[in-house]
Each structure stands twice: as C-alpha cells, then as structure tokens.
Amino acid sequence: MSIEKIEVGGRSFRIYSLKSLEREGYDVARLPYSIRVLLENVMRNLDGRDITREHLERLARWNPKAPEGEVAIKVSRVIMQDYTGVPAVVDLATMRDIVAKMGKDPSIVNPQVPVDLVIDHSVQVDFWGSREALRRNIELEIERNRERYRFLKWAQQAFKNFRVFPPGTGIIHQVNLEYLAKVVMTEGDLAYFETLVGMDSHTTMINGLGVVGWGVGGVEAEAAMLGEPITIRVPRVVGVHMYGEPRPGVTATDIVLAITEALRKVDVVDAFVEFFGEGVKKLAVPDRATIANMAPEYGSTTGLFPVDENTLSYLKATGRPAEHVALVEAYYRAQGVFGGVEGAEYSQVVELDLSAVERNVAGPTLPWQRRTLAEVPKSFAEFLQERKKRGRKAVEIEIDGKRVLFGDGDVVIAAITSCTNTSNPYLLVAAGLLAKRAVELGLRPPPYVKTSFAPGSRAAAEILERSGLQKYLDELGFHVVAFGCTTCIGNSGPLPEPVAKAIKEHDIMAAAVLSGNRNFEARVHPDVRAAYLASPPLVVAYALAGTVNKNLDSEPLAKTPDGKLVYLKDIWPTPQEVNRVVEEWLDPAIYVEKYSKVDEYVPEWKALEAPSGLLYPWRADDTYIQPSPLFETEVKLEDIKGARPLLILGDSITTDHISPAGAITKDNPAGQYLLSLGVKPSEFNTFGARRGNWQVMVRGTFSSKGYRNKIGNLEGGLTIKFPEGKVMTVYEAAEAYKKEGTPVIIIAGKNYGAGSSRDWAAKGPKLLGVRAVIAESFERIHRSNLTMVGIVPIQLPPGVKVDDLGLDGSETFDILGLSDLAPGKEVVIRIHRRDGRVDEIKARAAVYTWAEVEYIKHGGILPYVLKKLLSRA
C-alpha cells in the first residue's frame, strides 16, 4: 500500500493508490467502482483503532456472492436540509450545554468535516397562479419560521465548518449536484475520492455525478459531523447493465420509473447499485442524476454511475474551474476507474434495455406502481373501487366565475416539483416546449387544477426565462412558486375553496400529478388520496386534460376554443427540439452567477437578527426550538418483560405515517399542545417546521390518519390501552404505559419505515417509550435510525407474517436474549395471550454491526458520542 503522485496543471498531488494494492497481491481489478472508493477511504483513514487492517482486508478480498462483516469509513462532508437539519443542530447545541455544565470547553462540540445546510423544505404553495407567488410564498415562509431561522443563523456563526444556504436558493440535492460536489477532494497536496452522507434519503442524487454518497438518519449524520466513522455492513453490489438507447419522447423520468419497478422485483435493499454498459454513455449527467435520485424508491443504498466524459462535460457546463475538472480526470485515470470499471464482478447483474422503456407514470400511491399511460385510468378506477366501493361520480361546482363538472379522478394538483426532475434542464425544457404548443392552440387547464412550478435551482429557472419558455408555462398557471421541495414533501398548500368543499361534502376522490419521487397515500395533500408521479411535460399534459381518467396515449387531451381535438402527440416536443434549446441556452456563467448571489435573493433572511456566542440562549416560550431530551435517558440493556404492543401495523408503514411532516391540525395531540400554549391554529405551521421542538414531535408521532392500526382496526393515531380496553390517542396510551412502568413495543409487516430518512420517525417512538420494533422487514435507513436512538429492531423469521400470529393487542410480550446482544443474534419472542396460552417465536435482532450494539447499549449514538468527547476533553 503506497502513496503515489500525479501531476496536474503544474501541481503535484499525493494519492493513496489502489493500484499499489495489486502489487501486494490483492485482486483490485475485479472490484466494482463503489468498493474501490470505500477501499481508498479505508487506506487513507487507517488508524488501527476505529479503522483497522481487518476493514481493509474485507474490502480488498470482497466476496460478491457472500460479502461478510462490517467496515468503517470517514466521509469527506455532510449535507442536510432544514427539516432534518434543525433537530440535528438542536442536538449539537444541547451537547454544548452539557459539556459547559461539566466545566469543559463547549467548542469541543463542533463539526470536524464541512457541513452544508440548505433551507428548502419549509416553503409551501400558499400562493400560485401569478408572478407574485414566489415573493409572497417566501415572505410567508420567513414569517412562519422566524424562530427556526434565527436558530440556524446563530448556528452558522457558532459552529466552524458549518454553512447555511438561505431559503430561496434551491433544493438541497440540486445545490449539491450543481455547486457543492467536487468529485475529487483535496487537502493541501492530498487528493482523494469525494464521499458524503446526507440527512435526506435522496442524497443519492449525487451518485449521478459519480460521487459515492447516500442518505442517513440525523443522528448518524451528527456522529459523522463530529468525526466519528460511519460503520456499515460490507455491501452486496448489484450491477445494472444498461444497453440500447431511449426511444424518442421517452424521458429520464420514464426510465427511472421503469428501473424502480424492475429493481423492486429483485430486491436490492441494503445493496449498492452500480450502472454500467454502453447505455450509460447515452445518458447525460442530469438524466443520470434523475435515476440516481430515486435509489430509495428502488430500495438500494446507492444508484451509482461512473465518472466519464459526460461527467467532465457537466462539471464544465455548471461552471466548475477548468483546473479542477482536469484534476478529476487525472485522478480517476490514475486510480483506474475513469469511464467505469471493465470486467468488474457483481453480486448480481440486472439487464436493462433502454430502448424497451416507454412513456409511463407511477401511482396511485407508490413510486414503484409503474403504469403506461393506457393503464392509468384502470389503475385509478380500481383504487376508487377499493377505497370508496363505488364507481365514478361528479358534481357541478363554481370556481373563478365558471361552473364546471368536477369528480373522481379529476386532477386538483399538477405540480412540477422535486429534486428528482427539476434538476434536469432537458425535462424542464420539454415541459416548456409542450406548454408553448398548448398555449398556441389556445389550451388551458380546467379551473379546478392547482398548477405550480417549484424549480430545484435558480440556474434551471434562468434557462427557461432566457429561452422564453417560462412565459408559456406562466400562461398555463405554472408560475414559479418557490425554489424548494413544496408539493413532493407535502407542502402543497391549500386547495381552492370550492374544490376543497366539494371533496369533503361529496366524498370526491381527486388526484394529483407531480414530477416528484414520493406519492404515498395522502402525502401530497391530506384530502388527495391518489397521486401519480410523472415527468414535467406529462404533468403539464395531465393539467390540460384535467383528469387521470383519460388514456393520454389514444384519447384527446383537450379541445381548442374552436372545438378541434388535440392529442398528446400533437404537442409533444421531439428530442432534437429539446436538445437544441438546452444547447443554446445552457451557459456555465448562469451557474457561477446564481450561486455567487445566494445571500441576495431573500432580503428578509439577511435582515433577520440572531443571537451570537458559543451557547444558544434557549427560551422557555419558544414553540419551535427546545433543547433535546435524548441525552437524559438512563439505559440498561436487558431482556424485555411484560411489554404491551402500542401498535400492530401492516405492510409499508412509512416514515410519513410514523412522523408526519405536513400540517398540524387542531384535533392532533400536537395541535392540542400548541393551543394550550396560546398558539393560534393559523400559526401551527407543519410538523416539518417544528422539528426543533420535541414536545410537538413526540405528540405527532404515529398521529397520521394514513394507516390502520390492527388493534381494534382503528384509524391511524388511535390505539387501545390494555388491560382497560380503552381507546386513546397513541400519545395518551404511551404516557399511560410509562406511568405504569410498562414497556411498549411496535409490531409491523413488511418494509417498515419506508420513505424519507426521517430522524423523528425513530426519535419519536424512542420518546414514547418504545423499546423494540418487531417487523417482517425494515427499510434500510430507518432500521439504522432505530439502532441509533437505542431501539432494537427485530426481524421475524422468513415466512412468519404478523397476520399469522393471531394478535389483537391484548397480549403481553417477553423478548429474551437482549442482555448479551450481538449482531444478528437470535432472540426469543414469548407471547402471553389473554386466555393463558404462551407461544414462542425465534427471531433475529436486525442489528448488523458491533457499533450498533454499542449505540443500543448507551441508549443511542448521541449519548455514546458525547461520552467519547468528554473522555478526550
């Protein structure tokens, strides 16, 4: 293992050479790209304590069919958004208080690697349909979130290596892709592979640029910020062999929805996915980023593309310095991975013919429910029958002075939104060209459609402005409403009053169409149960059609004012037209200019006054920011005896169900708490915005109405407290069990914790007193998050389903074998039934590494890291 030198532009750089391992007898040439990146990381950070020679051996001798053990790495940076970032910074600020109270220097709690926080999740679509919408939405965002933003401005001056991008800059992953990412990092004359983790599951978007990075829970990211290594299982690596070329009219969105469906079928959960083959060369970096972004939806840790000529072209196109682009090429060539890895061994190979992909959408409730345009009407009709047990109905409503028919399947939200697709200028230009043709034909969406456009970056929006296409989107109501997540995160804002009234009074099943990555039931809007993911041009098309009950492949989209039928093919742009516009108007100077002025876009942010100093001056009356209670728990790792199930759940319980991010309502326990403090309902804001106040978040845990509790077959948010048999809110029941000293557990089906990497989906149950979660299977990030807060995830044996256990919630449970917990340890679940019967099941602790065992022993990673910091001070 040796350090070698490369010369670039007159400068000399040291590198930890992967090729040098070949000389030591390791067969590095067979290793996939991602394993090589991890291997270089271990070589560079080898210290014999946290990162050992054993870790290097596991990667250098990686077995594709049966990878073994764990490996520790140190990432080069951390990225976060405001929803997840605020509670993380609250935890750090609380740690500083504890350190100061113990007479130590509070500045020892400080990020050890660069940390960027992009404020992008808090803006809502309260205003739309006008050029004033952007300004008014940002003003309202600042007004609503003043306390949180004061806190973040304090943090920016209090912590070193910590930078905040103000509201109105863009979406975290697009800012990361267009501006933050280096691909190759440097420290003095040392060059190395860039790696990162992000406190958002779609951090994988950066994989489109060839950077190894993935989403983690907030607490894990905090540990990485503080210089702790991240410990992961040595991964399986699934290779996706791309060949062929996309058909004309097929977009990157269509490709990623096809990939999501295909990879869900082969199970890539916990695996690294790498794309390779001739087809990869047909995809520009924006298309690759669209595909990489949705790795959480196909279930993998990464969705990695190689660094090649397309990567260099993108770096140049987005204004990266020429000397750095030259370093990226030289470094990757020196490490033998430029253009990908020829002949790499994979754990499994999946074939993907790009020429076989057709135009499609996904829905009505899951990202992997791929539908051709012809299948959409049937999919909605089946969903309507399943939910409402009836056929389609419609009512007449008056809106904007017009009387129109409005019914089941009509589109009430059409949003070009989300990091996934608004990062891609080709997709946005396609939407603009389609809008241009529609406007020229005199087409307009029906008045009940709420249209909005929330680009991921100012640079992307500028391309549409300069090309003249934004004015056509404006004509159809797709004015820029924000530079943030908006609809995709559930911040879709209110529906027009006549529409909302009709939905509630007439039980209408309306639909949303969005260019996002998540469409879980009621996520987009609590009154809109069906949602379809689609490319930006298809969002515009469905807005014009006004319904998902049409087959847009064969039925007319709409009529011109003079009665002529217009079909989708009449207004769909050709690839040549899209490419021509992008090539003409994509200018590196746009990116340089827009990112040089991030502090100038929102004067309200600049004017916001914030405290200063190393310690945050907490205020008891602050309903947004309160110190974290996660350091106060006394923990003893022991068997669980006499536990009650707080909830018994079905499959695909998402982090939205566990810890909703949307609006807080008066009937919610969190709303009741805020009312008791004198907060008006109009000022409740969202759960996402109030993540810095644990009192709100613990009351909101499991309060979503989007799931069913099998205890009593109750709507979400309710459970039965035993032995009394009394119906209570989940929060009330948890508090009652706490007073009795009764431990509680959660039981669930498959894919528990799917969705966003939401730290409060683990922190909330922790504060409710949940000791363990027993499930048929877990989503990758959420399983890790549970261990990070000290909750034991337990996986039922294959073939054993929750429904087969015959539970009604009255049972008590013993979980034996936890006192000497080890990775993958077999545990015994003893079920005591009301009639005196006792059943036993052998299951496994879904605890994968010794580091996770340590976290559980200490009650979570935060107390564990704090203890280490204090021991060094």
799 contact partners, CB below 8 Å, separation of at least 6: none
Predicted confidence band at 633 (pLDDT cuts at 50, 70, 90)?
low
What's the confidence (pLDDT) of residue 219? 81
Dist CA 235 CA 273 (whole Å): 10
DSSP 180: I
- Whether pLDDT at 539 is above 70: yes
Is the pLDDT reported for residue 757 higher than 70?
Answer: no
Whole-angstrom distance, CA of residue 670 vs CA of residue 697: 7
Predicted pLDDT of residue 632: 74
Place of tokens 């009836």: 390
Convert the pLDDT of each residue in 258-287 to its tens digit: 999 999 999 898 899 999 999 999 999 999
Secondary structure of residue 466 in the 3-state scheme: helix
Residue scoring higher pLDDT (635 or 551): 551
Per-residue pLDDT tens over the stretch 112-154 = 999 999 999 989 999 999 999 999 999 999 998 999 999 999 9
Radius of gyration of the chain (CA): 26
Which residue has better confidence, 663 or 404? 404
pLDDT over 70 percentage in the chain: 100
**Percent of the chain surpassing pLDDT 90:** 86
Q: Mean pLDDT over residues 341-368, rounded?
A: 95
The pLDDT assigned to 634 comes to: 63
Task: Provide the residue type at 797 as one letter.
Answer: P
Q: pLDDT tens digits, residue range 223-259?
A: 899 888 888 889 999 999 999 999 999 999 999 999 9
Domain annotation for the chain: domains and CATH numbers: 1-73+234-354 (3.40.1060.10), 360-586 (3.30.499.10), 640-659+701-857 (3.20.19.10)
Its pTM stands at: 0.88
How far, in Å, CA of 57 to CA of 40, rounded?
12
Dist CA 531 CA 362 (whole Å): 8
For residue range 468-520, list pLDDT tens digits in order. 999 999 999 999 999 999 998 889 999 999 999 999 999 999 999 999 998 98
Predicted pLDDT at 255: 96
Is residue 658 predicted with pLDDT exceeding 70?
Answer: yes
The chain-wide mean pLDDT, for the chain, equals 94
Pairing of strands 726-729, 718-721: antiparallel
The reported pLDDT for the residue numbered 863 is: 92
Q: What are residue 410's DSSP bridge partners?
A: 547
- The predicted pLDDT at position 1 comes to 62
Measured CA to CA, the distance from residue 415 to residue 438 in angstroms comes to: 17
Mean pLDDT of 629-650: 90
DSSP string, 137-168: HHHHHHHHTHHHHHHHHHHHHHSTTEEEEPTT
pLDDT digits (tens, 9 = 90+) for 810-861: 999 999 999 999 999 999 999 999 999 999 999 999 998 888 899 999 999 8
